[in-house]
């Protein structure tokens, strides 16, 4: 029985000249939440991070997702205040592609 999963990939900082890991998705099935499965998944991802010599683990979280934010803060995660996410999509993307 699957209780959850983590989807991640490497990223690279040109500022630091080092690799990190970007956590694309962390999912624990609703019936298994609150039982430390999410923490266990992140702990294993941190082990992979350290074994590979990476410098950080980062991800996005929607600002209204208080349960997830509280969970991440409980692990010692810090919100990145110096970065803004930008996106080009739809007609704007098509126009840029011309």
Contact predicate 45/38, CB 8 Å: no
3-class secondary-structure state, position 34: coil
Per-residue pLDDT at 75 exceeds 90: yes
Give tens-digit pLDDT for 59-74. 999 999 999 999 999 9
The closest of 27, 29, 34, 30 to 7, measured between CA atoms, is 27
pTM: 0.85
Dist CA 87 CA 22 (whole Å): 18
- Which of 22, 27, 72, 86 does the annotation list as catalytic? 72
Give tens-digit pLDDT for 30-43. 999 999 999 999 99
Q: What is the mean pLDDT of residues 54-58?
A: 94
72 is annotated as an active-site residue: yes
Contact predicate 37/12, CB 8 Å: no
Dist CA 22 CA 12 (whole Å): 9
Q: What is the mean pLDDT of residues 21-29?
A: 96
Return the CA Rg of the chain: 16
């Amino acid at each position: 029985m699957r209780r959850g999963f983590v989807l991640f990939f490497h990223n690279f900082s040109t500022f630091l000249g080092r690799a990190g890991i970007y956590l694309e998705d962390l999912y624990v099935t609703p019936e298994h939440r609150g039982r430390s499965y999410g923490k266990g998944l992140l702990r294993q991802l941190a082990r992979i991070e350290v074994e590979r010599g990476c410098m950080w683990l980062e991800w996005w979280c929607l600002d209204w997702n208080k349960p997830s934010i509280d969970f991440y803060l409980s692990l010692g995660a810090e919100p990145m205040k110096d970065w803004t996410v930008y996106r080009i999509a739809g007609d704007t993307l098509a126009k840029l592609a011309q």
